[in-house]
Structure 1
Amino acid sequence: MRGWAQSITAALLVVLVATLATVTTTGGTDADRVGPVSLAQGTQSPAPGVDRPNLVFVLTDDMRDDDLDHMPITRRLLADQGMELTDAISPHPLCCPARAQLATGQYAQNNGVQHNRGVHGGFEALDPAQEASTWWRDEGYRTALVGKFLNGYGPHDVRPAGWSRWDALTEGVYDYVNFSMTGDGRPEHHTGSHVTRVIEDHTNEAVRDFARSGDPFVVYAWHLAPHYRITPQGGRGLPPAMPQDEDLFVDQRPSSFDAPAFDEADVSDQPAYLRRLSPVSRAAVRAENTARLQSLQAVDRAVGSLVATLSQEGVLDETYVVFSSDNGYSLGEHRFVGKDVLTDEALQVPLLVRGPGIAAGTTSDLPVTLVDLPATFAGLTGVTPQWQVDGTSLAPTLLGDEQAFRDTTLIQTGRTLGDGWSHRGVRTERYLYGTDGVDAFLYDRLLDPDEMVNRVDDPAYAAVVAALELRRRELVTCAGWTCNQQFGPLPEPADPDGVRRAGPGEVPRVR
């Protein structure tokens, strides 16, 4: 990245001058002006015929988008009966920051949770009063959370005020078979019971009780699988399967094996967190993939029993059921196993929604994020967020309407030291760009969908880097509508002679 550090300031000035030259004030509406366009977050009334719909949100932990191919019950009941959002990401792909985004509807620069631990991380960094369950509580909804909340949440920590029923994991959170839960004020310790089954049973109990009360409800079922196991002694191991699943997927070939980036031969141009890595063990990746898929079978059945419970209680047709993961997971791409990096394997998450007004078997390729989900849940249920949120409600798209959307999305990672930030960048339809101020990367995903060539020092991409850096600088401090702008076209990469070029078969236009 040596050339990048010297050239970025000059290139930024060139792009800034060019950008300012194109911005005009015509006296018309905002839509008539050239330059960044803000997209109103808006609100959306519930689907016609449903007065106060319910919502159930099922969340997994560290699930890859393509793991969904091995969850047939979830695909049949949610994807086939609702909408799959095929370009959903976790823009801060680490457990605690991702869950804080879901709890607040805000990016980490606004909710304060930048990492799993340290002064900038964990539950202690979250203001428990700034937690979205209060939106529904204050509108007469019953609310429940069952399962894993934010990292660091313990048995003596405050209960967020908006939950009617609070059943969070507190001790042995990652152990699967030796753990404690708050039990809604009656703490329970479990030994020998698989955590997925306990979360399933407690979720269904909450749904039954709430449905029979006649009040509308919001229930979060936040599972642990397929996160790796951590024993109370601190040992790390594979996620344990339930007994009936222990013989499944033993011969399953990991999908990452077929990715050109798997165990990438030359990582010398990659950002520091990748180029320092040794080659991965295929046997270890295969074993982890098998264990992860085995652990997800219990979640798949839990989705089935949840939908069955909603149906048995007569509320399925008036309930939105949402399924996603807190972040993705890399299984050997670029030699990396894990998350908390800005590559598509770690960013990409599954996102399925079924419910009233959502056409069955539909898809959307909007570039949505987990930050959009609280605004979406508010929109679908007709409640108003009580503070400024950074996401955009997806309710119009889910209910079949056209929706203008941002063209550039903030992505970022944190650290435990210093100011709490590591790499921060942006994602567009074509590019993935980020930097920590010294260590930078740029992937042209049109020409290089596997992100194997870092073009940040390529002179042909100097104008692209400068334009993306301007967007990055604006978005790292964004709040509310400023996180959801349409900046317009980016410059084209240039040939060595300085002439702009397009990708193969492409017209000369880049977004």
Structure 2
Amino acid sequence: MKSYSLFVLPAVLLSFSQIIAAYSPSESAQDPLGTVPFVNNRHGSYYSKQKPNFLVFLTDDQDRRMNSLDHLPLVKKYIRDQGTEFTNYYTTTAMCCPSRVSLWSGQFAHNHNVTDESPPHGSYTKFVSQKLDQNWLPTWLQQSGYSNNYIGKFINGVSPTLKQAPKGFDRDHWEPLVAPNIYTFYSPIFATNNGPLEKHDGVYQTDIISDKSIQILDGLAQNKSNPFLFVISPTAPHDEVWVTPDGVKFTPPVPAKRHEHLFKGAKAPRDPSFNPAKQDKVSWLKDLPRLNSTQIDQIDATYRARLQSLQATDELVERVIKRLEHNGQLEHTYIVYTTDNGYHLGTHRMFAGKQTAYEEDTNIPFIIRGPGIAKNKKSNAVATHTHFPATVLKLAGLPVPDSLDAHSIPVLEDITVYGKDQSSEAFAVEFWSQAFMENTTAKFDTNTYKSVRLIGKGYNLLYTVWCTGEHEYYDLVKDPFQIKNIYEDTKASLLNRLDALLNVLRTCKGPTCRDPWSVLHPSNKKNEIEDNRHGGHHSRGVKSLQDALNKEFDKYYASLPKFGFKSCLQYYDAENELT
């Protein structure tokens, strides 16, 4: 049993509805990043009056937990060695469409409501119909003089009849991959700036993206005073996807012919979560049979194909960064390498895919280099895709909207520029769609869940409530591969706090997402005075789980509702989530 050191304060009891009613966004913790442009900050000698450029390499379904980054020597040379890698970086919905919309909107999926890959609850159709492109990072940058450019995969559902550039992206530099050939490596189709489609039979997708990227960079170099955002998004190492009369089929990714000979002996990592003998999971996972030797051979073959398919991306990174340097753009450019969500191969007896709350699916690569960022460093600061827009705006010296669900990532080496400490220990992972395994026909209707992740000093926790009424709880300090579900062995006092936090995060918006403890422990001047005199649950000092574990709050948390679902819906409905 995990032990915690506790403080002593008398408890004050309120119902959950009273907490919500008492909470006022105007009284929430102010955005710790502020909105002061970095160029005016006295600490930063490396700041320039010129707004920085942003170059984003966005891969598709790239793992972090299966060590693919270690097989990319050029990414290491030009980004990892020259920047900071964030090891506690997560997607909050482990599926392409929701994750990518969160990356650009700064919203959790329960706020932007793109929760699937296909209509009616996901895809580019849902994105456009909700007009999500009217108030998101690209429009904020464009309004401040940025030229925004995109090539490669955007989100699923960009089609020959639905290929117009979303607001914020320059029409002249909008070249997304188009369905049904988004995931075909040797026959990709691009939309060309809202104009004719380009199909490239027999030419490797990543190489086309590489050539087009150089052309775009050379065009941007013609006016170096005009800052830019440029997103380069190859689909590697995603499986190839084929629409057939018998349904959608997945096959392993295809490498460029020059890379087919590589990694012949490579195998998927045999971590403790790989095909475990004992399956201590919820019902649909618990019933999965162990993988047989044929399936394991297929997993290893897919693992090798994924590594091979990433080699052209590795070459792309070198070519683009060298061109940036040649054009005199590198000095003022922040370069990011990330992906949309993680990927499991053989973990927890699952064949291949994503969509769970486990680390293989949610913990993803995020590396950044640029002015003021430490080189060859790893940071354990907690962040998610939802933090990305605030980070870019902060680096650009632009105002950060208070409506964003997450604050900026502390990417700069000089942390004094961020002002007061940022509270970034807790966030939700949420999912409402079927689970399916790529390369199989298996689908599961009970994969709707919400989780709370807490990562702080001395603790790393995952608590999940499933639509079936089942629960999971893991202590990742002791059990990093989430092998032993200790929910039944955990004290109710701790679970009560996790349920209360999940109840806040399930419908949080803006400030309540950034500082959920302030909902459970609101403060104002009057409360501060009373707290100093008597203590109580209004205490301003409650900013983390460690603070909330004060035993004097036990009755208060025990009185709050427990989180749950009415049924297993495959879409988000706030009324289906019980409090």
Superposition TM-score tier, normalisation by shorter sequence: 0.7 to 0.9
Correspondence for 2:424 among 390, 406, 410: 406
Residue in structure 1 matched with residue 575 of structure 2 by the alignment: none
Correspondence for 2:37 among 32, 42, 45: 45
One-letter amino acid matched to 1:229 = E
The CA deviation at 1:398 is: 5.2
Secondary structure of 1:432's aligned partner: strand
| C-alpha contact 1:441 1:455 (8 A) present in aligned 2 | yes
Output the CA distance in 2 between the equivalents of 1:288 and 1:41: 42
Correspondence for 2:452 among 410, 426, 442: 426
**Per-residue CA distance 1:313-349 (angstroms, 9 max, x = gap):** 0010110000001011111111122111000111111
Residue in structure 1 matched with residue 337 of structure 2 by the alignment: 323
Are the structure 2 counterparts of residues 300 and 166 from structure 1 closer, same or farther at C-alpha, using a change threshold of 3 Å?
A: same
**2:200 is aligned with 1:180:** no
Output the CA distance in 2 between the equivalents of 1:370 and 1:130: 17
The CA deviation at 1:159 is: 2.0
The CA deviation at 1:64 is: 0.8
Output the CA distance in 1 between the equivalents of 2:308 and 2:120: 35
The CA deviation at 1:400 is: 3.9
Are the structure 2 counterparts of residues 18 and 261 from structure 1 closer, same or farther at C-alpha, using a change threshold of 3 Å?
A: farther
Output the CA distance in 2 between the equivalents of 1:456 and 1:286: 33
Secondary structure of 1:368's aligned partner: strand
Output the CA distance in 2 between the equivalents of 1:421 and 1:129: 32
The CA deviation at 1:388 is: 2.0
Correspondence for 2:239 among 208, 228, 237: 228
Are the structure 2 counterparts of residues 468 and 18 from structure 1 closer, same or farther at C-alpha, using a change threshold of 3 Å?
A: farther
The CA deviation at 1:489 is: 2.7
Output the CA distance in 2 between the equivalents of 1:19 and 1:212: 64
**2:276 is aligned with 1:264:** yes
5+ residue gaps in structure 2? 1-9, 15-23, 39-45, 436-444, 518-542, 552-579
Residue in structure 2 matched with residue 129 of structure 1 by the alignment: 134
CA RMSD of aligned residues (A): 2.6
Are the structure 2 counterparts of residues 39 and 143 from structure 1 closer, same or farther at C-alpha, using a change threshold of 3 Å?
A: closer
Output the CA distance in 1 between the equivalents of 2:331 and 2:390: 22
In the TM superposition, 1:280-359 aligns within 5 A as: 280=291, 281-336=295-350, 337-359=352-374
**2:253 is aligned with 1:239:** yes
| C-alpha contact 1:271 1:439 (8 A) present in aligned 2 | yes
| C-alpha contact 1:242 1:298 (8 A) present in aligned 2 | yes
The CA deviation at 1:71 is: 0.6
Are the structure 2 counterparts of residues 86 and 163 from structure 1 closer, same or farther at C-alpha, using a change threshold of 3 Å?
A: same
| C-alpha contact 1:64 1:350 (8 A) present in aligned 2 | yes
Residue in structure 1 matched with residue 102 of structure 2 by the alignment: 101
Q: TM-score, normalised by structure 2?
A: 0.75
**Per-residue CA distance 1:110-169 (angstroms, 9 max, x = gap):** 111111124221122222324421112111111101010111121222420211111011
Output the CA distance in 1 between the equivalents of 2:49 and 2:286: 53
Output the CA distance in 1 between the equivalents of 2:97 and 2:499: 27
In the TM superposition, 1:39-78 aligns within 5 A as: 40-43=32-35, 45-46=37-38, 48-65=47-64, 66-78=67-79
Output the CA distance in 2 between the equivalents of 1:260 and 1:94: 24
The CA deviation at 1:493 is: 13
The CA deviation at 1:75 is: 1.1
Output the CA distance in 2 between the equivalents of 1:330 and 1:19: 45
Are the structure 2 counterparts of residues 20 and 43 from structure 1 closer, same or farther at C-alpha, using a change threshold of 3 Å?
A: farther
**Per-residue CA distance 1:349-396 (angstroms, 9 max, x = gap):** 111101111121222101111111111111111233567211211256
**Per-residue CA distance 1:290-310 (angstroms, 9 max, x = gap):** 000000111111111110110
Residue in structure 1 matched with residue 165 of structure 2 by the alignment: 159
Percent identity over the alignment is 29
Output the CA distance in 1 between the equivalents of 2:209 and 2:401: 29
Residue in structure 2 matched with residue 81 of structure 1 by the alignment: 82
5+ residue gaps in structure 1? 1-16, 22-29, 495-511
Output the CA distance in 1 between the equivalents of 2:222 and 2:149: 15
One-letter amino acid matched to 1:179 = P
| C-alpha contact 1:354 1:360 (8 A) present in aligned 2 | yes
Q: TM-score, normalised by structure 1?
A: 0.85
The CA deviation at 1:73 is: 0.5
**2:117 is aligned with 1:116:** yes
